[in-house]
């Protein structure tokens, strides 16, 4: 197949002129580059630098106080040396404390004091008695006991058992409640027993002794 070209589109005819134009253009650029002058620009006003100098504050150096002087040394004890030739006015007397077989030793017997506690009896040959007997005791209790209002309002009734000690003189001491019913009856029983007159003291082998006595006191509502 044969290619057909237009005579106007054929570049072979313009090849030489184009090469010449390119060389001329390159030569012109080289000449311009050599002939170019670099103009130095003078830097004129760059401004003034103002420095604000601050005076440095002077800090005084702290001075450390010297340590206190050490305390004076304690006075030394002066030892006076006595020569052997000097005589000592005061003579030391040494007693002979040697113990031989013939030495007599005295022994002193120390008698220890015995603390005798008074015994409280519960049963003796002759028991303590209220003045006038049991009938007088019941009469005394019935006359002097006042029924507590709290126990009366609450309907409390019963028997309070009281224990006490009749001493050698017949006085009533150490009154305590053995059995309680409450409602103020216990306190009333103690009050009446402590206010009793002196009893006839109990006796053991003909001698008055302390005797513990138990007494029932009955509280009854009517």
* Number of domains within the chain: 1
Cα(20)–Cα(29) distance, integer angstroms: 15
23 band by pLDDT with thresholds 50, 70 and 90: confident
208 band by pLDDT with thresholds 50, 70 and 90: very high
39 within domain boundaries: no
Domain that holds residue 158: 120-219
pLDDT of residue 164: 95
138 within domain boundaries: yes
88 within domain boundaries: no
Host H or E run for residue 138: helix 133-144
37 within domain boundaries: no
158 band by pLDDT with thresholds 50, 70 and 90: very high
Query: What average pLDDT does the segment 88-99 reach?
Result: 54
Cα(100)–Cα(84) distance, integer angstroms: 35
Comparing CA positions, the residue from 119, 143, 140 lying closest to residue 130 is 140
Task: Report DSSP state, residue 110.
Answer: P
Task: Check which CATH number belongs to the domain holding 178 and give it.
Answer: 3.30.2420
104 band by pLDDT with thresholds 50, 70 and 90: low
pLDDT at 145 over 70: yes
pLDDT at 155 over 60: yes
Query: What average pLDDT does the segment 175-187 reach?
Result: 92
Query: Which tokens hold the place of 79?
Result: 């030892």
Comparing CA positions, the residue from 220, 218, 219, 215 lying closest to residue 162 is 215
151 within domain boundaries: yes
Name 163's bridge partners: 176, 214
Query: What average pLDDT does the segment 123-142 reach?
Result: 92
108 within domain boundaries: no
Find the angle CA(109)-CA(110)-CA(111) to the nearest 5 degrees. 110
pTM: 0.47
- The per-residue pLDDT of the chain, averaged, comes to 76
54 within domain boundaries: no
124 within domain boundaries: yes
């Amino acid at each position: 197949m044969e290619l057909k070209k237009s005579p106007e589109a054929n570049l072979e005819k313009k090849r030489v002129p184009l090469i010449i134009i390119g060389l001329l253009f390159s030569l012109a650029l080289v000449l311009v580059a050599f002939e170019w002058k670099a103009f130095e620009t003078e830097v004129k006003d760059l401004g003034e630098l103002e420095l604000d100098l601050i005076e440095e504050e002077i800090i005084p150096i702290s001075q450390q106080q010297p340590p206190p002087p050490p305390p004076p040394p304690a006075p030394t004890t002066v030892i006076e040396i006595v020569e052997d030739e000097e005589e000592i006015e005061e003579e030391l007397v040494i007693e002979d404390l040697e113990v031989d077989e013939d030495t007599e030793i005295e022994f002193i017997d120390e008698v220890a004091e015995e603390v005798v506690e008074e015994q409280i009896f519960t049963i003796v040959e002759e028991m303590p008695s209220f003045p006038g007997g049991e009938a007088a005791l019941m009469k005394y209790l019935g006359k002097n006991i006042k029924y507590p209002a709290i126990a009366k309002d609450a309907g409390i009734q019963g028997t309070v058992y009281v224990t006490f000690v009749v001493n050698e003189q017949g006085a009533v001491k150490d009154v305590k409640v053995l059995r309680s019913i409450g409602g103020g009856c216990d306190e009333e029983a103690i009050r009446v027993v402590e206010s009793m007159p002196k009893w006839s003291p109990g006796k053991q082998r003909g001698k008055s002794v302390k005797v513990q006595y138990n007494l029932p006191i009955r509280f009854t509502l009517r």
